[in-house]
Structure formats: C-alpha cells, structure tokens
Amino acid sequence: MKKLPKMIIRFLLLLSLVMVIQFTPIFNRVVNFFFDKNVPLIIIPPMENKIRGVITIDLQVFDKSDPLSINVYLNKQKVEAIFPLLIDTNRFPDGDYVLMVEVMDSTIRKNKAFDTVEFIIDNTPPLVEIILEKEILEPGGFLKGRINLKEKALIEAKIAGENLVLLETKPSEFQNSESNILSFFFIYGIPLNQELPFKEISIKAVDEAGNKTSKLLTYQLKDRKFSTEFLTIAEGKTPLLDLELLRAERKIVEEVLFKMIKGIYWEGDFIPPVDSVVTSPFGVKRIYNQGLLIGRHNGIDYRAKKGTGIKAANSGFVVLSEFLRARGGTVIIDHGMGVMSLYYHLDEILVNRSDRVKKGQFIGKAGDTGITTAPHLHFEMRIRNVAVDPSHFYGGKKNDSPLY
C-alpha cells in the first residue's frame, strides 16, 4: 500500500514537467503579447556614402515576439520590403536619400523601433572635360592643358602611351570653372624623335560611387624639318668629345632632370636669358669634327661675349650649379612640374643650388667653358627631361596664351 502513492507522485511530477516544457512557449507568448514593453532592435549595417546600381542591405532585426512587420521608406516614400532588402537605385533620380526601416512587433502595445541611414544615389558617370590651352603639335613642341571634373573621381591619364603627370589645382583660380570640383593641370613635352603623325590622350575617371568615364583625344603631329650643322672643335677641346666622358656627365645632369618639384613656380611667359642673336637654332643635327661625334642640338645658342649677364628665364629653384667638363659652367632651374631651364658654358655662376630665383635675375655670366667654338650661351628648356624648343616658351607671339 505504501508503494502506490509514491508512484502516483512520481507520475504526477513527470506529467507536470512535460506540461511545463510543452506549454512554456505558448505561455511565454501569451505573457509577451500582453506584457512585453521591449521595442525590437534594428540595425542597418554601415553603407557607402555614394551608391549606384542595385544594392543589398543586410538588415538585422531582433525581438522576442513574432511575427514582426517591417516597413521601408526611402525619403518618406514607402518602398517594397522584400528580404534581403534590395534597392534598385536606377529607379530613383540621383540625389540625397534617407532610408528608414521601421519594425513593429505583434504585441498588444505594437512596440516600434526604427533606424535610418543616409546616402547619395549616383548613377551618373563623372563628367570629364579636357581643355588644351596651348598646343604646339610637332617634335620639340608641347601640349599644355587642364582636365576638369564636376565631381570627385580617381583619374588616370595617359599620353602617347605614358602616364600624364597631373597637378591638382584649385578650380577657383580659373575662369568659367566655378562648377568644377577638381581641376588638373598638365604640360607634356613632345620629344624630337616622336613618331608621326597621330597620338592620343586617354583619360579614365571613376567616381566615388564607381561610375566610370573614358575619354580619348587624338591629336596629329606635324613634321618639322631640321637642318644639319658641321662644327669644328679646336684641338685643345677635342678630348671633351669622348663618349665615356659625355655619358658620365649626362648621368649627373639627368639625375636632376628626372626629378621635379610639385607645384608651379614660373610666372607668365618665359624670357630669353640674353638679348642677343641666335647663332644655332633648336633641334639641328650636329656633326662635330668630320663625324667624330654626331648629336642633336637640344637648345638654342645665343651669341654672348664673355662676361655678358645671363638672366633666369623664369622663376624657380636652382637644382644644379656646377662646372662640368663638356657643358662648362652649368645652371639648371626647376620651375615646377618638371619644367626646367638649362644654361651652359657660363664663365661665372652667380647662384647656388637650392636658391630660389626670380624671373630676370642674373644667374651667371656668359663664357666659352666646355664644348664651344666661341663664347656663347647654350639655353635649353626641358619638360621632364624632354628637350623642347625654348622659343615656344617666350611670349609675344600671336595666338599665345601665357604658359600658366
């Protein structure tokens, strides 16, 4: 008799345990329905500031009660809420948007929560404008211009297959450009040995949303004929025509010519460094001492008596000031963006390396040091080591705009 009640008690205990397990969710639900005051938790994951195309937003929602109703609004306008949340930005005009997601639980209180995220819809490729401000389309000439962008974008520009060096400038400095967000200046020297006739500038721009623009600009180079000069260097100077010596010296000079100061330090047009007669123009082929050395004249020679004052063709920084064997007394001025002026055969140098010089300032005195047949100034202009005709840099010609 004693055994039975114990068994009944055990059975009842077991039954109540099963009941509790079985009915807890329902019980909880009922309790939740009436007494839950907690609002749902909603998280919109961080998004890019600028978006394009179709995007997926991985919403995260947490709540005790089921089911949840979710409403999605884009600039207060209700949009279809399918999950995962997809937004086809092509259906909306470009502009600023606020996405609001509202979640409501199914309790008697209808606890609500919302989260918002702001972004810009941009499905428009960046507007790229290439403006050629000065173009002398021949070997020894140059192209100068500007690339304008109406919105922030990464830009890659190539000219004749090589990277175009761009200098970001303040758009406000230029006319008719208030609406430009970015403006890049470029100057490119056309080598004497450039193949003719067609070359191109290609530009690729990608905006912050990922929209791409490609532009291609073709330009035609015209041929320029150069004459040949025969020179005889006096016997005392013929050891200077040695190829090894010339190679070693070119290395010293090129180390400077391949560097460049960022920014622009020249002011307006360049001036001839000496007011005198041109005795040998730019680009002529040169044959020294019956073929002992054959070369190209990378600059202009001006007749100048020993001691004649030589002026800086424009403002900039002295990057080389040295007596070299073939070039003689040499000064090189970096005007910025790789635009440099070079002065050879000086008898005396009046500036030091790193000096900042002003346009027209005397930097040296003419002489006949190095490979010369008589006292003169050899004057060169280079754009990132490409020798260009200095006369293109002087002002006062028709159709000329200042260099910057």
**Least CB distance to Zn ion at residue 364 (A):** 15
Query: 336 or 367: whose CB is closer to Zn ion?
Result: 367
Residue 235 CB, shortest distance to Zn ion, in Å, is 20
Identity of the residue, 148 or 308, whose beta carbon is nearer to Zn ion in the bound complex: 308
Q: Give 279's contacts (C-beta < 8 A, 6+ positions apart).
A: 301, 302, 303, 376
What span, in angstroms and rounded, lies between the C-alpha atoms of 44 and 72?
11
Q: How far is the CB of 380 from Zn ion (least distance, A)?
A: 8
To Zn ion, the closest distance from the beta carbon of 309 in angstroms equals 19
List of residues 6+ apart from 101 with CB closer than 8 A = 42, 44, 59, 70, 71, 72, 73, 81, 85, 114, 115, 116
DSSP 151-180: S-EEEEEEETTEEPP-EEE-GGGSTT-TT-
266 vs 288, beta carbon nearer Zn ion? 288
- Build a one-symbol-per-residue string for 361-400: x at contacts with Zn ion by CB under 5 A, - elsewhere: -----------------x----------------------
Minimum distance from residue 371 beta carbon to Zn ion (Å)? 9
Structure token pair of residue 157: 């520009």
Shortest distance (Å) from residue 301 CB to Zn ion: 4
Nearest approach in angstroms of CB 189 to Zn ion is 18
Binders of Zn ion in range 125-184 (CB under 5 A):
none
Q: Which is nearer to Zn ion, 171 or 283 (CB)?
A: 283
Q: Which is nearer to Zn ion, 146 or 297 (CB)?
A: 297
Q: CB-wise, 195 or 275, nearer to Zn ion?
A: 275
Residue closer to Zn ion by CB (options 288, 404) is: 288
Q: Which helix (H) or strand (E) holds 216?
A: strand 212-220
Whose tokens are 């990057």? That residue is 319
For Zn ion, which residue has the nearest CB? 378
Separation between Cα atoms, residue 137 and residue 191, nearest integer Å? 11
- Quick check: 204 and 213 in contact, CB under 8 A? yes
Between residues 204 and 286, which has the closer beta carbon with respect to Zn ion? 286
Least distance to Zn ion, CB of residue 346, Å: 13
Residue 332 CB: number of other CB atoms within 10 A?
A: 23
Instruction: Write the binding mask 328 to 347 for Zn ion: x where contact by CB under 5 A, - elsewhere.
Output: --------------------
Between CA 397 and CA 384 the distance in angstroms is 24
Which residues share a beta bridge with 42? Answer: 61
CB atoms within 10 A of CB 196: 13
Q: What is the DSSP string of 220-269?
A: EPPP----EEEE---GGGGGGG-HHHHHHHHHHHHHHHT---SSB---SS
Per-residue mark of binding to Zn ion, 291-310 (x: CB under 5 A):
----------x---------
Tokens linked to 173: 């400095």
Amino acid at 87: I
Question: Toward Zn ion, which CB reaches closer, 187 or 192?
Answer: 192
Q: Among residue numbers 186 through 215, which ones bind Zn ion (CB under 5 A)?
A: none
Ranges within 24-63 binding Zn ion (CB under 5 A)? none
For the bound state, the minimum distance from the C-beta of residue 215 to Zn ion, rounded and expressed in Å, comes to: 39
Smallest distance, Å, CB 297 to Zn ion?
Answer: 6
Tokens found for residue 93: 């005009």
How many residues bind Zn ion (CB under 5 A)? The answer is: 2
Between 54 and 234, name the residue whose CB sits nearer to Zn ion: 234
Dihedral pair phi/psi, residue 254, rounded to 5°: -65, -25
Residues within the interface to Zn ion (CB under 5 A) = 301, 378
